[in-house]
């Protein structure tokens, strides 16, 4: 175990960094995607409702690994086929897109549920004062929804972090992928996967502790 | 052209609310069947009626929290049933007080009261704060401006809700059972604020089961049932000498 850490330590931490980078990027994009489709599902516009529901159902209905293959291999092939022969997506780009789309669908549901958990009277009170719908959403409903959403968002964050390991299949050098390389070189599977497991675990446990702390602070003002 | 006609009518008799042949359906359910109603400036109208008779729906149609199925509603000369009317502008002029207060839970009393006036540029931040302080004094809660709604009693919440509506300086106030969710000992403090408001000449439409309030404060009492106005008149007439059997029946149950 010591020898693996000596030889591959730097590589492992670089890989952990890449894992975190992809998680963070995906989470930021997923927030935006989730906001858009989640809000579409909250209002009563039939067209928006349809688009929102369609997106959520479609993405949740496809395994992440299939979505990753589709975006990494399928989409560039399609775009090259219509004449853009130089089009490429590297593993980070494709992986981030796949993960953002996937996480975005779950985020949309979290945001929808959070907003719907706020009493309808809050919006009505805002509207009755003459405030437009968007303003009521932004200043009255969403701030109250965020409090109930925080635990689910943190949970989703952790799931997304773990899901990066699935993207080892398209060759992005994140932690799990690097693990495969190390095992291939050393044939020391037990130690390698134990080390990698602990690395994931330390990050995730730290994150959830930090999250609990944030949650307590936010709820204190109530 | 029709609009102009209504506007003239309005200026002639200072009619603040003019409802003609209002109908409201929820899916297949006809909740308001044919309501016509005028409220003049400074008038206090109390709506009485059994549960499900459409009182809240009528009130909520007035500021278009519910869209009318058919009929016309003219508020201060603005046809709110017309899609082209800027409903937000009209609503600035109609305060509404809800049974369950609906204070913004994440904001302090002061923030509750200044949010809309500042955001809608009715007042500067400083002016809005001054107005809020004055209104809080008026409802007897000047020491609560930094409290959160969760720190207030029901009666205090409702008085803040009234003050919040008044902060927009509306011409008309709508009240939907403002005391129904309160413990009995807190009803009086809210009614007192409403009485003072009536005395100061506010145009008010009030849904309530407080017959005492209706007798003392109302200029006119309307009895609704099954989506129709069954009978209306002065408190004397309607409460002490009702003519319609359904009114008599209802009053015998609540008095
Ligand atoms: N959003 C809605 N969707 C469907 N039906 C509704 C809706 N709002 C009200 N109704 C129905 O309309 C009818 C009248 O309701 P409304 O709330 O206006 O009665 P109300 O006179 O205010 O009664 P209460 O004294 O119980 O408040 C009821 O049968 C109610 O179930
Ligand atoms: Mg009601």
Residue A73 pLDDT: 94
Summarize pLDDT for B69-127 with one digit per residue, the tens: 999 999 999 999 999 999 999 999 999 999 999 999 999 999 999 999 999 999 999 99
Cβ–Cβ < 8 Å for A17, A199: no
Summarize pLDDT for B211-223 with one digit per residue, the tens: 999 999 999 999 9
Measured CA to CA, the distance from residue B16 to residue B39 in angstroms comes to 6
Highest mean pLDDT among A6-10, A86-90, B122-126: B122-126
Our measurement of the distance from residue A24's CA atom to the centroid of its chain's CA atoms, rounded to an integer in Å, reads 8
Only one residue has tokens 């979290």, namely A110
Of A124, A132, A139, the CB nearest to B65: A124
Residue B108 pLDDT: 97
Cβ–Cβ < 8 Å for A149, A110: yes
Q: Where are the domains of chain A?
A: 2-221
What does the angle CA A34 – CA A36 – CA A41 come to, to the nearest 5 degrees? 90
Index of the ligand 1 atom closest to the CA of residue B49: 21
A2-42 and A189-220 are packed helices; what angle lies between their axes, rounded to 10 degrees? 40
**pTM tops 0.90, yes or no:** no
Measured CA to CA, the distance from residue A118 to residue A48 in angstroms comes to 20
Residue A5 pLDDT: 86
Measured CA to CA, the distance from residue A194 to residue A114 in angstroms comes to 38
Which residues fall within 8 angstroms of residue A80, CB to CB, at 6 or more apart?
Answer: A87
Inter-chain contact A135–B104, Cβ cutoff 8 Å?
A: no
Please choose, from the candidates A43, A25, A22, the residue with its C-alpha nearest in 3D space to the C-alpha of residue A33.
A25
CA atoms within 13 Å, Cβ hemisphere of A40: 19
- Is the pLDDT at A111 greater than 90? The verdict is yes
Summarize pLDDT for A20-50 with one digit per residue, the tens: 999 999 999 999 999 999 999 998 889 999 9
User: Which two tokens mark B228?
Assistant: 């129709």
Say whether domain A2-221 belongs to CATH 1.10.150.20. Answer: no
Ligand nearest to the CA of B175: 2
Summarize pLDDT for A50-80 with one digit per residue, the tens: 999 999 999 999 999 999 999 999 999 999 9
Inter-chain contact B94–A119, Cβ cutoff 8 Å?
A: no
B3 exposure class (CB count in 10 Å sphere: 0-12, 13-18, 19+)? middle
Which residues pair with residue B97 across a beta bridge? B175
Residue B5 pLDDT: 45
ipTM of the complex: 0.91
Please choose, from the candidates B188, B190, B169, the residue with its C-alpha nearest in 3D space to the C-alpha of residue B127.
B169
pLDDT classification of B173: cutoffs 50, 70, 90:
very high
- Is the pLDDT at B143 greater than 70? The verdict is yes
Cβ–Cβ < 8 Å for A28, A183: no
Mean pLDDT computed over A157-175: 91
Question: Among B23, B29, B47, which is best to mutate for testing ligand 1, by the most ligand atoms less than 8 A from CB?
Answer: B29
B40 exposure class (CB count in 10 Å sphere: 0-12, 13-18, 19+)? middle
3-state secondary structure chain B: CHHHHHHHHHHHHCEEEEEEEEEEEECCEEEEEEEEEEEECCCEEEEECCCCCCHHHHHHHHCCCCCCCEEEEEECCEECCCCCCCHHHHHCCEEEECCCCCCCCCCCHHHHHHHHHHHCCCCCHHHHHHHHHHHHHHCCCHHHCCCCHHHCCHHHHHHHHHHHHHCCCCCEEEEECCCCCCCHHHHHHHHHHHHHHHHCCCEEEEECCCHHHHHHHCCEEEEEECCEEEEEECHHHHHHCCCCHHHHHHHHHHC
Question: Using CA positions, which residue lies closest to atom 5 of ligand 1?
Answer: B26
Please choose, from the candidates B29, B128, B51, B149, the residue with its C-alpha nearest in 3D space to the C-alpha of residue A119.
B149
Residues framing ligand 1 (Cβ under 6 A) = B 26, 29, 31, 49, 51-57
User: Which two tokens mark B109?
Assistant: 């009393």
pLDDT classification of A1: cutoffs 50, 70, 90:
low
- Is the pLDDT at A174 greater than 50? The verdict is yes
Mean pLDDT computed over A116-126: 97
Residue B1 pLDDT: 39
Share of chain A above pLDDT 70, in %: 98
Question: Using CA positions, which residue lies closest to atom 7 of ligand 1?
Answer: B26
Mean pLDDT of chain B: 93
Question: Using CA positions, which residue lies closest to atom 25 of ligand 1?
Answer: B51
- Is the pLDDT at A215 greater than 50? The verdict is yes
Cα distances from B125 to residues A131, B121, B147, in angstroms, run 16, 9, 19
Summarize pLDDT for B7-57 with one digit per residue, the tens: 444 455 689 999 999 999 999 999 999 999 999 999 999 999 999 999 999
Residue B26 pLDDT: 96
A221 exposure class (CB count in 10 Å sphere: 0-12, 13-18, 19+)? exposed
Residue A120 pLDDT: 96
Cβ–Cβ < 8 Å for B10, B198: no
């Amino acid at each position: 175990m010591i020898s693996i850490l000596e030889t591959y330590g730097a590589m492992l931490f670089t890989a952990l960094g890449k894992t975190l980078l992809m998680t963070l990027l995906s989470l930021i994009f997923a927030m935006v995607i989730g906001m858009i489709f989640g809000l579409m599902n909250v209002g009563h516009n039939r067209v928006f409702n349809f688009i929102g529901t369609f997106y959520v159902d479609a993405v949740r209905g496809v395994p992440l690994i299939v979505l990753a293959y589709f975006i990494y291999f399928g989409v560039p092939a399609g775009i090259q086929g219509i004449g853009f022969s130089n089009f490429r997506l590297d593993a980070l780009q494709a992986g981030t897109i796949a993960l953002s789309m996937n996480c975005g669908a779950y985020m949309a549901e979290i945001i929808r549920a959070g907003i719907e958990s706020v009493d309808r009277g809050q919006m009505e009170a805002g509207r009755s004062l003459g405030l437009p719908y968007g303003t009521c959403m932004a200043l009255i409903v969403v701030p109250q929804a965020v409090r109930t959403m925080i635990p689910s968002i943190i949970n989703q964050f952790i799931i997304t972090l773990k899901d990066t390991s699935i993207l080892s299949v398209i060759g992005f050098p994140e932690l799990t992928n690097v693990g495969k390389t190390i095992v291939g070189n050393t044939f020391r599977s037990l130690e390698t996967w134990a080390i990698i497991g602990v690395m994931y675990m330390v990050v995730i446990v730290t994150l959830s502790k930090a999250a609990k702390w944030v949650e307590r602070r936010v709820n204190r003002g109530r | 052209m029709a609009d102009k006609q209504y506007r003239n009518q309005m200026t002639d008799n200072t009619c603040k609310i003019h409802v003609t042949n209002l109908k409201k359906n929820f899916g297949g359910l006809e909740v308001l069947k044919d309501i016509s109603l005028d409220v003049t400036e400074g008038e206090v109208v109390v709506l009485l009626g059994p549960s499900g008779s459409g009182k809240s729906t009528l009130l909520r149609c007035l500021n278009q929290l519910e869209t009318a199925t058919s009929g016309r509603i003219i508020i201060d000369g603005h046809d709110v049933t017309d899609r082209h009317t800027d409903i937000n502008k009209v609503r600035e002029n109609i305060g509404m007080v809800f049974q369950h207060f609906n204070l913004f839970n994440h904001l302090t009393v002061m923030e509750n009261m200044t949010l809309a006036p500042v955001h809608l540029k009715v007042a500067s931040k400083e002016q809005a704060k001054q107005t809020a302080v004055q209104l809080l004094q008026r409802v007897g809660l000047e020491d609560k401006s930094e409290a959160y709604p969760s720190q207030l009693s029901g009666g205090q919440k409702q008085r803040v809700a009234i003050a919040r509506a008044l902060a927009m300086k509306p011409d008309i106030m709508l009240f939907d059972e403002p005391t129904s969710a309160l413990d009995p000992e807190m009803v009086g403090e809210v009614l007192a604020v409403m009485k003072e408001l009536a005395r100061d000449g506010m145009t008010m439409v009030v849904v309530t089961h407080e017959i005492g309030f209706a007798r003392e404060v109302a200029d006119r009492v309307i009895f609704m049932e099954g989506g129709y106005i069954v009978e209306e008149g002065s408190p004397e007439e309607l409460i002490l000498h009702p003519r319609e059997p359904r009114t008599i029946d209802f009053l015998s149950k609540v008095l």
